[in-house]
């Protein structure tokens, strides 16, 4: 009995040869560490939007609408802060958004709700040009608004002689160049580029004809269609699940 009691006090020792020599990790841990170093709690996505503006709407109302919407979302939903650029032309707009997936979802959802409830909402005919997921870095340090007040005359409309792929490529190229220009010139904490982009960067300012062309293109999704596809469950039937002849009941 004494021998058994003495032996029961001994702790089980793991063979040192079985212990891992190198600490192991996985891809999820690497992504979490990368986000932690970049001060990100969520993955950040970027979305390019274009649309039309009602003729009787003050341009300032559009910027105020988005500012209140961003603040309301951050109060009731945990996510990343919104950065980007809103260019408001005479009858159209270009909106670049950088934020988490849940925040983007709620921004589009709010627009769709207004579009259904109000016959003449301040913005309409919105199209999603492209959505980039899990972007490594942001192009904008904050959210900027610029009113393109000065009319710009274009000698020819290049969209009439170009294909949709060419117009989209030029659109993305010019917007990225404009974003890099603002990233280098606009200091953090300032109001942004202001309303004189036609003087500061005239070569990087998109013609309004390009935005109008993209708004009319049927190849791009509107927010309602995008949200329906986003919420639609995915059912994949494997070949191993299909049998022949099909089972039948008598």
Q: What is the pLDDT of residue 56?
A: 86
Burial of 221 (0-12, 13-18, 19+ CB in 10 A): middle
Of 105, 100, 102, nearest to 80 by C-alpha is 100
Q: Could you tell me where the beta strands, DSSP code E, fall in the chain? A: 44-53, 83-88, 92-100, 123-132, 143-147
DSSP state of 221: B
Closest by CA to 153, choosing from 205, 196, 193, is 205
Q: How far, in Å, are 62, 77, 89, 121 from residue 57 at the CA level?
A: 8, 29, 12, 9
Which pLDDT value is given to residue 11?
52
197 closest CA partner among 188, 207, 206, 205: 205
How does DSSP classify residue 244? S
pLDDT computed for residue 155 by the predictor: 46
Residues 150-180 as b/e (b if ≥16 CB within 10 A, e otherwise) read eeeeeeeeebeeeeeeebbebbeebbeebbe
What is the residue-level pLDDT of the chain in tens, covering all 250 positions?
555 555 455 555 555 555 555 556 666 666 656 655 555 567 899 999 999 999 888 989 999 999 999 999 988 888 888 999 999 998 999 999 999 999 999 999 999 999 998 888 999 999 999 999 888 888 888 898 998 876 555 545 667 788 999 999 999 999 999 988 888 887 776 666 667 777 777 788 888 889 999 999 999 999 999 998 877 766 666 666 666 665 565 5
Question: Tokens 């117009």 belong to which residue?
Answer: 167
Structural domains for the chain:
48-232 (3.30.70.100)
Token pair belonging to 52: 């039309």
Q: Which two tokens stand for residue 63?
A: 């910027």
* Peptide linkage before 4 cis (omega within 30 of 0): no
What six digits make up the tokens of 15? 């063979």
Alpha carbon distance 19, 51 (integer Å): 60
Phi-psi region of 84 (alpha: psi -120 to 50; beta: other; left: phi over 0): left
Closest CA to 171 of 141, 204, 138, 193: 204
Q: Tell me how far apart the alpha carbons of residues 60 and 97 are, in angstroms, rounded to a whole number.
A: 18
Please, are residues 205 and 178 in contact by the beta-carbon 8 Å criterion?
yes
The rounded radius of gyration (Å) of the Cα atoms in the chain is 27
């Amino acid at each position: 009995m004494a021998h058994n009691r003495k032996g029961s006090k001994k702790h089980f020792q793991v063979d040192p040869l079985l212990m891992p020599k190198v600490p192991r990790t996985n891809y999820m841990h690497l992504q979490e560490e990368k986000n932690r170093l970049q001060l990100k709690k969520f993955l950040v996505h970027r979305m390019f939007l274009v649309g039309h503006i009602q003729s009787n709407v003050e341009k300032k109302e559009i910027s105020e609408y988005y500012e209140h919407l961003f603040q309301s979302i951050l109060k009731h939903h945990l996510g990343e802060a919104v950065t980007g650029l809103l260019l408001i032309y005479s009858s159209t707009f270009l909106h670049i958004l950088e934020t988490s997936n849940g925040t983007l979802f709620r921004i589009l959802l709010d627009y769709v709700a207004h579009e259904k409830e109000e016959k003449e909402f301040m913005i309409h005919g919105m199209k999603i040009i492209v959505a980039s997921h899990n972007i490594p870095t942001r192009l904008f340090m904050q959210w900027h608004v610029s009113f393109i007040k000065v009319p710009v005359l274009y000698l020819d409309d290049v969209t009439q002689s170009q294909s949709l792929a060419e117009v989209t490529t030029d659109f993305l190229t010019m917007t990225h160049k404009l974003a890099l220009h603002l990233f280098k010139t606009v200091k953090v904490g300032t109001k942004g580029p202001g309303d004189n982009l036609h003087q500061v960067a005239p070569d990087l300012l998109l013609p309004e004809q390009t935005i109008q062309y993209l708004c009319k293109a049927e190849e791009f999704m509107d927010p309602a269609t995008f949200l329906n596809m986003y919420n639609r469950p995915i059912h994949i039937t494997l070949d191993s699940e299909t049998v022949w002849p099909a089972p039948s009941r008598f």
